[in-house]
Structure 1
Amino acid sequence: MKQQKGVTLVELMVTVSIVAIILAFVTPSIQSILIKNRIVAEINEISSLIQYARHHAIDEQAQVVVCPSDDYSVCTEDWNKPKIVFIDSDDNEIRGEDEELLVSVSATSETSLMTNTNDTIKFSETGEANLANEILLCHKDKEAKYARSLSITLQGRVKMSTDSDKDGVNENAAGTPLSC
């Protein structure tokens, strides 16, 4: 008698059912991990940009501006736009023809929302910021568990939000839970 190889229809249906059940539980977790990783990557990018601007202000002994801009010249209020860094020799928050664009980063992803307490971030020759800033980055669904922030002190220090109480929501430098 010849032995058959393969699986029966019942075995195949049971296997497919088990795989479907596993995927139903794993997929939301994977999506959450991907969202968190994207937010962290974006907040790290803006943190690097700000730290670069501060160090450049100190190194060049010049006022350096970080701001969002549509045209890479005039600063706007929308922090979801591309961000630019330039030496602002004439202190007008507009990058003139003689003011070199030091660096820029692309716009915030379509799934994220970025806000700042101020329109621009200015660093003086000593690395001090003109105003304290709080940059908040949220996912488009506005769930607090995905929110991240950067606090820029008057001394120019950049501090990233942390979840110090381990409740799943990050807190800013003042210890206040982030909300979108």
Structure 2
Amino acid sequence: MPHLSIRKNFSYTLVQYQGFSMLECLVVVAIVVILSSFAITGFYAINNKYQAKSVLQEIKNFLHLGKQYALHHNATITLYKSKDRKSCSGDWHEGLLLFIDHNANRKLDVEDKIIRVHKFAKRGGKIELKAFPSKNYMQFRNHGIINSSNGSFVYCHGNISKALIVNNFGTIRSSYDSDGDGFEEDARGNNIVCD
């Protein structure tokens, strides 16, 4: 609001205040909040994709190591889920346990040797092994071939679903979106669906 000020020479000048009104400030704050919400949503989506790739890469490393170990040491190697890094227990998203399974009984016995363990950071994602005959382990025979039928490690977090697909020969490939519908497909070409 303009007001009059008096100077020494007694002339009157009109001084006008400069600044932002309350309405202008509220509009600016609203715009910043809206843009920030888009940025945060985008950040979470990017973070979830990176996290999925990171988790599946770690599983892939374990599978490669298991296959190589089976071939080079002429041994049966078992990959199991492990929550405590000492026993076959828990869920896949808690950790991995890779060991030489001397009697091929798919159990960690006293005479078995642990090759590598890994504990996943708590990130909120879920890992599931979809395989036959068991969803609890994957085993390599001494010639590097899987001791079961095909299987897939499926990772789900939010709207992200990805998989590592393992065939009978122990060949590993990552899932991808072949039809452009925004969902990656499993070995049969079906969209990966998280339970």
Fold in common (TM above 0.5): yes
Q: Hey, what's the Cα distance between the residues in 2 that align with 1:70 and 1:22? A: 40
- Where in structure 2 are the equivalents of 1:24-103 lying within 5 Å? 24-76=37-89, 78-103=91-116
Distance 1:108 1:115, change over 3 A: farther
Q: Does 1:147 align with 2:161?
A: yes
Normalized per residue, the structure richer in strand is: 2
The two structures, once aligned, show a CA RMSD in angstroms of 2.5
TM-score (norm 1): 0.84
Q: Aligned AA for 2:167?
A: T
Among candidates 117, 125, 130, match of residue 104 of structure 1 = 117
8 Å contact kept, 2:70–2:141: yes
Q: Hey, what's the Cα distance between the residues in 2 that align with 1:7 and 1:57? A: 74
Where 1:147 maps in the other structure, the secondary structure is strand
Percent of paired sites with the same residue: 23
Q: Does 1:170 align with 2:187?
A: no
Q: Does 1:127 align with 2:144?
A: yes
Query: What is the CA-CA distance between 1:71 and the residue it aligns to?
Result: 4.3
8 Å contact kept, 1:160–1:173: no
Query: What is the CA-CA distance between 1:68 and the residue it aligns to?
Result: 0.8
Q: Hey, what's the Cα distance between the residues in 1 that align with 2:161 and 2:122? A: 14
Comparing 94-103 with 49-58, greater Cα deviation is found at 94-103
Among candidates 145, 157, 161, match of residue 171 of structure 2 = 157
Query: What is the CA-CA distance between 1:92 and the residue it aligns to?
Result: 1.8
Q: Hey, what's the Cα distance between the residues in 2 that align with 1:86 and 1:161? A: 26
Distance 1:20 1:100, change over 3 A: same
Query: What is the CA-CA distance between 1:158 and the residue it aligns to?
Result: 1.0
Q: Does 1:19 align with 2:36?
A: no
Q: Does 1:8 align with 2:25?
A: no
8 Å contact kept, 1:53–1:64: yes
Higher relative contact order (CA 8 A, sep 6+): 1
Gapped regions of structure 1 (runs ≥ 5): none
Rg comparison, structure with higher value: 2
Q: Aligned AA for 1:179?
A: V
Count of residue pairs brought into register by the alignment: 175
Q: Hey, what's the Cα distance between the residues in 2 that align with 1:22 and 1:113? A: 30
Gapped regions of structure 2 (runs ≥ 5): 1-12
TM-score (norm 2): 0.78
Q: Aligned AA for 2:66?
A: A
